[in-house]
Chain A
Amino acid sequence: MAELLVYSERVDTARELVAGGKELAAALGLGVSAVALGPGAGAAASELAGAGADTVYVSEDAAFDGWPADAVAAGLAQIVEQAGASVVLVGSTRRGKETAPRLAQKLGAGCVTDVNSLVVEDGELLAGRYAFGGATVAREKLATATKVFAVMPKTFSADGASAGAGNVVTPALTVSTAVKLVDRRAKEGDHVNLDAAPIIVGVGRGFNAREDLALGDDLAAALGAVVGCTKSLADFKWLGEDRIIGLSGAKTAPDLYLSVGVSGQIQHTVGVSAAKLIAAVNKDKEAPIFGMADYGLVGDLYQVLPALVERLKSV
């Protein structure tokens, strides 16, 4: 049986892709295999075997340390051939997104990156991704025999995947990388995880000064929320780039996204369009953000935010 092959250097993303891949594979008549690469991949492999993959290909070859694109693409291409895979799902993380096109080029395959929906229609895979800076959603099909899709984390849920055979295989691979890892260090400061936050307060250019962002911090604290921002505030260096929401930052799906002083340009809102609830504070009643919000507070954030913090004290 031909295979649908799943790979991500992030185990949580790989588990999601196994779960989502199983449904697609069932509709296409394919089996599901997963790949774990790099030092320590053995542990990831057993997790993926438990998550529903029929076969897990694992290699702890030192060339995969740091997941360089040239070595990972070469390794995956060899596994694709051994497994007889016709569909490859790669997690569309930064690393996955530089690897998937290289793999596709090796395989003579078409590739779609940043896929945020993937379904089978009339027996064919149909991938959705944002286009025109997020203004539209392009639905794309690939015409090649082998197809590579780089799928955004959280596109599928890892829950509820049916069990697979879970065979762990160690393939013989010939891989090397020309890229040398000189240094790797954790990012300084608090690591912000917008992906996992149930509530996000998003701040934008409606704030007059950097120190005024304390109002947004107070509101976030009262809501138990994490603060994110538009790209412009990161460009001003008011907040770090890991807080950017939107096309050039995080694509989130919180229970509540509350924007403050955000006009609602599509390059930003593309990062919150999957939120269960969207609310907005803005003094301009005509701001585009109100057109896509469930709740809008039309008013000066310098008055509305303290009032909200006060009101939330009695919840």
Chain B
Amino acid sequence: MDIVVCVKTNPDLQMVRIKHREAVTEAVPYKIGDLEKNALEAAVVLRDAVGGKVTALCLAEGNRKAAEGIKEALAMGADEAVVIDDPALAEPDQAAVAAALAAAVKKIGACDLLLFGEGSTDNYTGQVGARVAELLGLPQIGYARKMEAADGAVRCERSMDDMIETLEAPLPAVVTVVSEINEPRIPGLTQIMKAKSKPLQVWALADLGLDAPAPVREIVSNLAEEQDRKRILFEGAAAEQADAFVNALIKEGVLRR
């Protein structure tokens, strides 16, 4: 089974600081998103069970350190990697990302299963998997927490608002995964060393037969919210704190009896 896993490097959100209401991402490390690691793990497990090949596909997005991220994907067990790197994709919207990924999947050729994380850890739009599925005319199953593939079909269990569903789609298909699906492996030194000799290709938009995308979205502002809260602190003995706090809640009118 030939599997393509789309990965993206994300800023380490624990390291993002807010200064003058703006997110400061300079000097913040970038790494493959947690859910994309789940997708990679699922791909590697499936390949080891049924044979085939895993290709990690990453869109570089400017200074997001895709070269390091893709090495990690190879160390986790992907057989080959493709990076799409083009100055016109420095800050792409989801339509541009989807167009580039879909074209790259076509160029890769053999693809029975196309895996994504449910969303990226930074902005979590969850758009790209569905857009790529539409572009390639493939069925999609979102939010997979269990996945098995055999006999030309993929079967997934997924958790929706109040239902557990089991869905089956014919291959080729797009599946997006959630964190429950597995525990991604942490590659050892041998795997990291081996990754260096695995095939890695870098493609620009021209290699994919694409022009620079016309933006469909404009980000007008991106600022931290101002929280206007009372910030009243109670300290001291537990019983006194409890008394003062409950009195405050009664005054606020939130204790309905």
CB neighbours (8 Å) of B98 from chain A are 105
CB neighbours (8 Å) of A144 from chain B are 216
Tell which of A101, A137, A292, A315 touches B131, judged by Cβ atoms closer than 8 Å. A101
Determine the interface band of chain B, counting residues with CB < 8 A from chain A: 35 or more
The answer to whether B162 touches A186 (Cβ under 8 A) is: yes
Q: B69 in the interface, Cβ–Cβ < 8 Å?
A: no
The answer to whether A293 touches B229 (Cβ under 8 A) is: yes
The answer to whether A94 touches B123 (Cβ under 8 A) is: no
Q: A253 in the interface, Cβ–Cβ < 8 Å?
A: no
- Closest residue of chain B to A303, judged by CB? B238
Q: How far is the CA of A143 from the CA of B141 in the complex (A)?
A: 29
CB distance from A313 to the nearest CB of B (A): 10
Q: B29 in the interface, Cβ–Cβ < 8 Å?
A: no
Quick one: given A256-B249, A298-B233, are A95 and B125 in contact (CB under 8 Å)? no
- Closest residue of chain B to A298, judged by CB? B235
The answer to whether A179 touches B141 (Cβ under 8 A) is: yes
Q: How far is the CA of A93 from the CA of B160 in the complex (A)?
A: 9
CB neighbours (8 Å) of A98 from chain B are 126, 129-130, 140, 142-143, 176
Q: How many residues on chain A are close to B (CB under 8 Å)?
A: 89
Tell which of B122, B135, B254 touches A131, judged by Cβ atoms closer than 8 Å. B122
CB distance from B102 to the nearest CB of A (A): 9
Residues of A contacting B: mostly: mixed
A94-124 interface code vs B (CB 8 A; 1 in, 0 out): 1101111110111001111110000000000
CB distance from B120 to the nearest CB of A (A): 10
The answer to whether B232 touches A105 (Cβ under 8 A) is: no
Chain A residues with a Cβ under 8 A of chain B: 66, 68-70, 73, 93-95, 97-102, 104-106, 109-114, 126, 129-133, 135-144, 177-187, 191, 198-199, 223-224, 241, 247-248, 255-256, 265-267, 273, 276-279, 285, 290-300, 303-304, 306-308, 310-312, 315
Quick one: given A132-B122, A296-B232, are A304 and B241 in contact (CB under 8 Å)? yes
The answer to whether B231 touches A70 (Cβ under 8 A) is: no
Q: How far is the CA of A95 from the CA of B14 in the complex (A)?
A: 29
CB neighbours (8 Å) of A105 from chain B are 95, 98, 130-131, 134-135
Interface residues of B in 43-98 (CB under 8 A from A): 93-95, 98
The answer to whether A223 touches B217 (Cβ under 8 A) is: no
Q: Please, could you name 13 A-B residue pairs with CB atoms under 8 Å apart, sorted by A?
A: A69-B130, A93-B161, A114-B126, A132-B23, A132-B122, A135-B23, A136-B222, A138-B219, A143-B215, A293-B230, A294-B230, A295-B233, A307-B242
CB neighbours (8 Å) of B248 from chain A are 295
Chain B residues with a Cβ under 8 A of chain A: 11, 13-14, 16, 18, 21-23, 93-95, 98, 121-131, 133-135, 139-143, 155, 159-170, 173, 176, 179-180, 214-225, 227, 229-235, 238-239, 241-243, 245-246, 248-250, 252, 254-257
Quick one: given A113-B126, A256-B254, A311-B239, are A102 and B222 in contact (CB under 8 Å)? no
Given A68-B167, A180-B168, A292-B227, 8 other A-B contacts at CB below 8 A?
A132-B123, A135-B18, A143-B216, A179-B168, A181-B165, A241-B159, A265-B14, A296-B234
Q: How far is the CA of A26 from the CA of B54 in the complex (A)?
A: 51
The answer to whether B94 touches A290 (Cβ under 8 A) is: no
